[in-house]
Amino acid sequence: MKLTLDLLAAHLELHLLPVYLVSGDEPLLVGEAADAVRARARAAGYTERETYFLERGADWDAVSAAVNNLSLFASRRIIEIRLPSGKPGVAGGAALAKLAQLGDPDLLVLIIAPRLDRDAQSANWVKAVETRGASLTVWPVDAEHLVAWLKGRSRRLGLKADDAALELLAERTEGNLLAAHQELEKLRLLFAGAPVGADAVLASVADNARFDVSQLGEAALAGDTARALHVLAGLRAEGVEPTLVLWAVSKAVRDLWHAQVAAAGGGAAPRTWQRHAAALAKGLRRARDVPFARVVMRAERADRMIKGRLAGDAWEEIALLAAEFCTRALLPLPRTVFK
């Protein structure tokens, strides 16, 4: 079976399956989900825990030996397997499928992995886990839902933070839930039940936002200039290669162009995922106002700057590109002759 974070607590109150797979790229939520499974297992008498870190191509003999050996200290054990790459390889996949099918009432298998790609999700070992146990995929909390997530956490911690404080905290910690949770814990200790406003957050919280290039593309597609430039500044501070950043914005431009052509009956719409599709829908509503020719020229200028063929700061040019694509031209386009 497949589970979600929202259903995990209710599931564990009623059931404890022999094998669980928890996967995702959000360390805080993955860790909390795994903790919930461990706590329920301990309550059911699984008092011994053995942990194995296994890369692709690792020797799985130690795991097989642990499963076959009787414990000297407890009758029930948790076998925890961590897959840093999420791809155990052929031998590892076979071993995991065998573990999932054991059905030993004295063994509970907990597998922890990063987010699995489409091929990994359809692997035989994952299907075996879902047949005998449960898999839970942890998704990041996106910008639109981060304030609500922080509000729920604050309520559980007894922290009285107002909406302005939570919005500021979301801006400072976006994409980094672990930092957000730590900041909430710090605020709880500092204010001990007293109301917390934006000024208090500003004085206490460091800027721990962490972004990826897909967030930049989505913000640019949606026409959110302020957010696009904020994400761009975060990517630059994190040392992301400007080539990758330019690709993200250029892809957003291409997707909107093709979507506009498709909407006019001139071709197929670009295939995309749900969150990207929502941003694309917003972009379509303003597509007729986007100066595509100027945007393409900005992208070409940024590309030449990255390659050292044109003087200038590529990051600043990408910022101008993103703003222009959001229909907020910040500077006129120079009359550059491309060679």
Sequential DSSP letters for 171-216: HHHTT-HHHHHHHHHHHHHHHTTS-B-HHHHHHH--------HHHH
Q: What pLDDT was estimated at residue 201? A: 83
Residue 37 belongs to a domain with what CATH number? 3.40.50.300
- Give the pLDDT confidence of 151-166 residue by residue, as tens digits: 999 998 898 988 888 9
Instruction: Check whether residue 228 and residue 184 sit in a common domain.
Output: no
Same domain assignment for residues 36 and 71: yes
131 has pLDDT over 80: yes
Closest among 48, 36, 42, 31 to 11, alpha carbons compared: 36
Residue 323, φ and ψ in degrees, nearest 5? -65, -40
Residues 198 and 260 in one domain: no
Q: What does the radius of gyration of the chain's CA atoms come to, in whole angstroms? A: 24
Query: Stretch 268-273: mean pLDDT, rounded?
Result: 54
Within this chain, do residues 15 and 87 fall inside the same structural domain, yes or no?
yes
Residues 121 and 159 in one domain: no
pLDDT bracket for residue 173 (50, 70, 90): confident
Domain that holds residue 177: 143-204
Q: Is residue 337 part of a domain?
A: no
Please give the pLDDT value at position 320.
93
Q: Both 176 and 221 in a single domain?
A: no
Give the pLDDT score at 72: 55
Q: Say yes or no: 273 and 319 in one domain.
A: yes
Reported confidence tier of residue 111, pLDDT bands at 50, 70, 90: very high
Q: What is the rounded average pLDDT of the residues 23-52?
A: 91
- pLDDT at position 271: 57
Please report the pLDDT score of residue 11 as a whole number: 93
Q: What is the pTM of this model?
A: 0.66
- Sequence-distant (6+) residues with CB within 8 A of 11 are 3, 134
pLDDT computed for residue 22 by the predictor: 94
* Domain-located, residue 333: no
**Domain annotation covers residue 233:** yes
Domain boundary among 163, 178, 204: 204
Find the range with the poorest average confidence among 58-67, 256-265, 287-296.
Answer: 58-67
The pLDDT assigned to 70 comes to 61
Q: Give the mean pLDDT of 52-75.
A: 72
Does some domain include residue 332? no
Confidence band, pLDDT 50/70/90 cuts, at residue 338: very low
Residue 73 has what pLDDT? 56
